[in-house]
Amino acid sequence: MKVSCDDGSVKTLHSLYDPEAEARSIVDAVGFDGRGLLVVVGLGLGYHLREIVQRFPAADIVVVEAVPEVYELAESQGMISDLEGRVEFLIGLPVKEAIGEIFSRQMKLGMVPLSVCALSSAVSAFRDYYTPVLDSLRSSINVRLWDRLRYAKFRGETCSVLLIDSGYFLTRETENALLQLGHRVMKVPVSKRERGEVVVSRLIKGICDFKPDFILTINHLGLDEDGTMTSFLKSIEMPLASWYVDSPNLIVRAFEGNVSPYVSLFLWDRGYMKDMRSLGFESVSYLPLAADDTVFTPLAGGGRNGHYECDVSFVGNSMVVPAMESLEKVPVRLRSLVEEAAVILSSARISFDEALTTLERDALSMIDSLSARERLDFEAAAIWRATLLYRLSCVKALREFHPRIHGDEAWKGLLDDNYTVGPSLNYYDELPKLYIGSRINFNATSLQMTGAVNQRVFDVPACGAFLLTDHQESIEELFEVGKEVITYKERDEIPELAGFYLNNPGEREKIARMGRERILKEHTYRHRLAAIVQSMKNRYGY
C-alpha cells in the first residue's frame, strides 16, 4: 500500500519483502503484556494489528486511522473484516474527537494503563493528524493515573468528600453541613451539557489532588445517561452517594448504566425505594429533606418583617410552564390521556401507577406500548399537570383570606383580584422574611412526592413560623401533628383551619415554637449529612 503524504511525497506503509515479519518486530518493540488498553495508531493493511490480536486474544484494542480509504482497502483485502466487534476502529474522526473516544474507552475500563503501538510509516506520512494524538496518549501514559486513583478510604474519623456542584440549591446546604461536622469538602463544577468523559476527566483531577473518601451528588447530577462515570467509579472502587430530592423515576429509570454496587441512593420519599431496588441498586436508604438553621431562623428579638407581613401566604410555582413543556414531549394521540390521568392524580392523590389502573383497557394498551423513555415523558407530563390542578384548587380554597402568592407570572392568569401575586423570592435572602412575616404559611405538595414532605415543611418551622400543610404519609414520623405542625387531609378543611389559627394567635405561636424545637433537635442538614457519611462508612469502609 502506498499513500500520498502531507508533504506531497509518496510512502509505502509496509515492507515490500516480508510485512508479517515487520509486523512481529513492531509488536515486539511495544512491550505490551496484554493488560490495559492498547491503542494502535495507524492501520495500514493491518499486518501489525493481526499480530497483536493473535498474541493477545483478550486485550482491549482501539485502532486510530486518519484516512477512511486506508481502512476500506484493508477491509476489502480481508485483512480486518474478521476483527469487527473484537477491535474498536476510530476512522477519520477529528483529532480531538478521536482522543476523546480513546479516553472514554479507558474510563469505562476503569482508567486502566494505556499502551501505544504506532505504525511509524503512517505517522510520518500524516504527521499533522497523528502527532497530537500520540502526544496526548504519551502524556496520559506518563501520569500513571491507575496507581493514583486507587487507595484506601475511610481511614479516619473525619472524611474527605468530593461534592459535584451542578448549581442546584442544595449544594450550598450540603457543603456547609459537611464543614460544620468537621469534614473536608472539595467542589467540582459540572454542567448538564457536558459529555461524560469531560466530567470524568475533571473528577480524575479532583480525585488525584483531594483523595476523597467518597463522591456526593444531588439527583444523580453529573452522571451521564450512558453510565461512563458509573463504570469508571466502579473500576477504581470509588463510592458515590446520590441524594434524591426529586423523583428518581423521572431521572434514572431509563438509564440502567448508572446501576452499580458503588452507587448508594438516598431518597427523600420512601415511595420510590422499591422501584430503585428493582432496578438493581443494592444500597437504597430513606433520607428526608431538612432545614438550614443558619439561614431559616427567627428574627433577633422576635417580631415580623413589616414589608412581608400578611395573614396568609403561599410560595410556589404554578406549574403552568413545566406542564406545557412536558406535554410537548408526549405524542399528540396520548395528550388527552395525560389530562385524564392528571385529573385522577390531582383528585385522588394516589401514585402514578395506581392512577393508570383506573384508565380503560385501550388506554392502558397504548401506554404499555411506549418505550421506557416515552413512558417517562408521559408520567412527567401527567404529574406536572396534576400538580397544577391540585395546587390551584388548594390555593383557591384560601380566596376569602386574600392570600399573598409568590411564584411565576402564570399565577396572574389563574387567580382573580382577591389574591396579591408577587414575584419569585430569593431563597436565602427574601424567603425567610416572608415566612416570618406570614401569620399562616400555606403549603400544597407537588404530586411527584408520593408520601414525602417538601422543603417548606422544614424551612417554615425553622424560622419559628406557623405552617399549614397537606397531610403526607411521612409527616407523622417527622413531627407531632397537631402540636408541631397543622395538616389538612381534604381541601375543604383549608378555610376552616386557616380561619381558626388566624383568630387564635396563641395557639399558632405555640405550634410554631414547638415546630422549631423539633427542627433543631432532628431535622437540620447536619443531621442528614451525618447520616450519609455514616452510611457510606458502614458500607464502603475498609
pLDDT in tens, 392-417: 999 999 999 999 999 999 999 999 99
Q: Tell me: the pLDDT tens digits for 135-173?
A: 888 876 655 666 678 889 999 999 999 999 988 889 999
Angle at 292 between CA 224 and CA 448, to 5 degrees: 50
Among the four given CATH numbers 3.30.1280.10, 3.40.720.10, 3.40.50.2000, 3.90.1150.10, the one describing domain 306-523:
3.40.50.2000
Q: What percent of the chain has pLDDT over 90?
A: 65
Q: In 10 A of CB 38, how many CB atoms?
A: 24
Give the separation between CA 422 and CA 433, rounded to whole angstroms: 14
Maximum distance among all Cα pairs of the chain, rounded to whole angstroms: 102
CA distance 240 to 243: 10
| Predicted pLDDT of residue 250 | 65
**Residue 313 cell numbers, joined:** 401566604
Euclidean distance between CA atoms 45 and 346, whole angstroms: 66
DSSP string, 439-476: EEEEE---TT-SS---THHHHHHHTT--EEEE--TTHH
Query: What pTM was estimated for this model as a whole?
Result: 0.79
Task: Determine the angle formed by the axes of helices 170-180 and 525-540, rounding to 10 degrees.
Answer: 70
User: Under CATH, what is the fold of the domain 2-148?
Assistant: Rossmann fold (3.40.50)
Q: Which residue has the higher pLDDT, 200 or 527?
A: 527
Whole-number pLDDT of residue 146: 64
d(CA 244, CA 536): 16
Q: Are 244 and 219 in contact (CB under 8 A)?
A: yes
Is residue 301 very low, low, confident or very high in pLDDT (cuts 50, 70, 90)?
low
CATH fold match for the domains 160-289+528-540 and 306-523: yes
The tens digit of pLDDT for each residue in 88-135 reads 999 999 998 998 888 878 877 767 788 899 999 999 999 999 999 998
Query: What is the SS3 assignment for 8?
Result: coil
**Distance in angstroms (rounded) separating the CA atoms of residues 240 and 162:** 9
Query: Residue 496 — φ and ψ, nearest 5°?
Result: -65, -45
Please compute the mean of the pLDDT values over residues 475-501 and round it to a whole number.
Answer: 96
The Cα 380–Cα 249 span in angstroms is 9
From the CB of residue 93, how many other CB atoms can be counted at a distance below 10 Å? 17
The pLDDT assigned to 145 comes to: 65
Task: Name 28's Cβ contacts closer than 8 Å, sequence gap at least 6.
Answer: none
Residue 141 has a pLDDT of 67
- Domain residue limits, the chain: 2-148, 160-289+528-540, 306-523
Q: What is the average per-residue pLDDT within 279-284?
A: 92
Residue 167 Ramachandran class (φ > 0 left, ψ -120 to 50 alpha, else beta): left
> What is the chain's length?
542
Q: Which CATH architecture has domain 160-289+528-540?
A: 3-Layer(aba) Sandwich (3.40)
> d(Cα 521, Cα 393) in Å, to the nearest integer?
34
